[in-house]
Amino acid sequence: MPGAVTRLAGVTGGAGALFAAVFLACAVEAVEATTIVLAAGTTRSWRSALAGVGAGLVVLAVIVAALGPGVSAIPLHWLRLIVGGLLLVFGVQWLRKAILRASGHKALHDEAAIYLKQVAAAETAARQQRGVVDDWYAFTLSFKGVVLEGLEVVFITLTFGSNQKDIPLAAVAAVSAVLVVTAAGFAVRAPLARVPENTMKFVVGVMLTSFGMFWGAEGAGATWPGNDVALLVVVPGVAAYALLCVAVLRTRRNADDRTGVAPVEVPT
Amino acid sequence: MINAVRRFLAFWYDFVIGDDWRVAVAVVLAMTLTWLVHRSGTSAWWVVPVFFALVLPVSLWRAVSRP
C-alpha cells in the first residue's frame, strides 16, 4: 500500500509534495548548521571547523546506517502510528514556535544575530590542540552544530521516506537542500540572513503536523473520508487554523501595547 | 558518568518532547482514543484533529500568559 505522500502526490500530480516537505524542513536545519560552521571557520580555524563537519557527517551516516534498515523493517501499521505520533509532536512544537514568532510573542529567528553571538563566543575561547585537531573549540562547535541539526534532517528524511516506501527520494530532497544551503553559505561567507527562515518554519510546522495527524490516525486504525484526498483538506485546514491563532495572539499583543501592559516575551 | 547519562537523557527529552510536555501527552492520548473509538466500530478519523484543535491554543495560551 503506497504511503500517504505518494497518494497525495498522485492526487496533486507528482512526487513534488514529498520532495517539497523534506527539502524545506532540511533547508531550515541546514541554514542553522551553516551559521554555526561559518562562525567557527571565519573566527577560529577553517581546518578544524571542516574536520568537525566531517566527523559530524560520519556520526550521522552511522545513525542512518543503523536506523534506516530498522525503520524499513517495521510493519507499516506500527510505523504510521509511531512516526505519525512523533511527527505530530514535532509539528505542533514547530508550529507553536512559529505562531509565537509571527504574533510578536517570541523574537524572530535571526541568523545574523546568532552568527554574531557565536563569533563573540568563539573569539574569547582559548585555543587548545588535541591530537590532529589544531583548534578543539572550532572542531566541537562545528561537530555539535552538524550533529544536532543533522539529527532532525535524518529523522524527517527517514520518517517521510519510510512512510512513502521511498527513502531514496526523501534522501535526494534532503541532500539537495543541504548542498544548496551549504553552497549559498560558503559563496557569501556570511549567515544566510535573507532566507525567509521563519516563514519556512511555519510551512514545515504545518506539513509535519498535517502528515503526523494523517499517519498517526491511520496507524491507530482510523480511515479518513476520501482516503488520500483528505490530505488536501487537512493541510490547508491546519494552515488556516494556525493563521487564526497568529491573528488572535497578534490582536492580544496589540491590545497590550495600546494599554501599556508589558507583553509576555517567550524565551527563545 | 551520572552527569553524562543525565545530559544524554535531557538531550533526547528536549529533542523529542520540546518546550511543552503536554503536547506529547495529548498526542499519546489522541492516538489511544482513536484506537478505542475505532475498536468500538465508530469512525475515528476526527479524534486527532479535535485534539489538535484543543491542544494548540491551550499550549499557546500558557506560553503567553503571565506566571
Are B39 and A220 contacting, i.e. CB atoms less than 8 angstroms apart? no
Q: What does the pLDDT read at residue A4?
A: 52
Closest CA to A26 of A15, A18, A37, A36: A18
Q: What is the DSSP letter of A266?
A: B
For position A209, what pLDDT does the model report? 93
State the ipTM, two decimals: 0.91
Backbone angles phi, psi at A133, to 5 degrees: -90, 120
A122 close to A44: Cβ distance less than 8 angstroms? yes
Query: How confident is the model over A43-87, as pLDDT tens digits?
Result: 888 888 899 999 999 998 888 888 777 777 778 788 888 888 988
pTM above 0.90, yes or no: no
Of B19, B45, B63, the CB nearest to A224: B45
Specify the 3-state DSSP secondary structure of A15. coil
DSSP conformation letters of A19-44 = HHHHHHHHHHHHHHHHHHHHHHHHHT
Selecting from B15, B56, B66 the residue whose C-beta is nearest the C-beta of A96 gives B56
b/e per residue A73-99 (b: at least 16 CB within 10 A) = eeebeebbbbbbbbbbbbbbbbbbbbb
Contacting residues for A11 by C-beta, under 8 A, at least 6 apart: A228, A229, A231, A232
Interchain CB contact of B53 with A (< 8 Å): yes
pLDDT at B67: 60
Cβ distance B48 to A217 less than 8 Å, yes or no, reads yes
Question: What is the chain A residue with the closest CA to B24?
Answer: A89
Cα–Cα separations (whole angstroms), residue B38 to A33, A99, A196, B25: 43, 32, 41, 20
B55 to A225: CB separation less than 8 angstroms, yes or no = no
Whether the Cβ atoms of residue A91 and residue A208 lie closer than 8 Å to each other:
yes
Residue holding cell 509565537? A100
Q: Which of B20, B45, B63 sits opposite A223 (nearest CB)?
A: B45
Quick check: A71 and A162 in contact, CB under 8 A?
Answer: yes
Q: Is B45 on the interface with A (CB under 8 A)?
A: yes
Helix axes A4-12, A16-43, angle to 10 degrees: 110
| pLDDT the model gives residue B43 | 93
Q: Which residues of chain A have pLDDT under 70?
A: 1-15, 108-111, 189-195, 260-268
User: Comparing C-alpha atoms, which of A56, A35, A26 is closest to residue A152?
Assistant: A26
| Cell (9 digits) for A176 | 539537495
Classify residue A48 as left (phi > 0), alpha (psi -120 to 50) or beta: alpha
Q: What is the DSSP letter of A108?
A: -
Query: Do residues A40 and A123 make contact, with C-beta atoms less than 8 angstroms apart?
Result: no
Name the band, by pLDDT with cuts 50, 70 and 90, for residue B48.
Answer: very high
Mean pLDDT of the B46-55 span: 96
Phi, psi (degrees; rounded to nearest 5) at A266 = -75, 130
Cell (9 digits) for B15? 529533542
Burial of B31: CB neighbours in 10 Å, binned 0-12, 13-18, 19+: buried
Distance, CA of A252 to CA of A230 (rounded, Å):
33
- In the stretch 14-43 of chain B, residues with CB closer than 8 A to chain A read 15-20, 23-24, 27-28, 30-32, 34-35, 37-39, 43
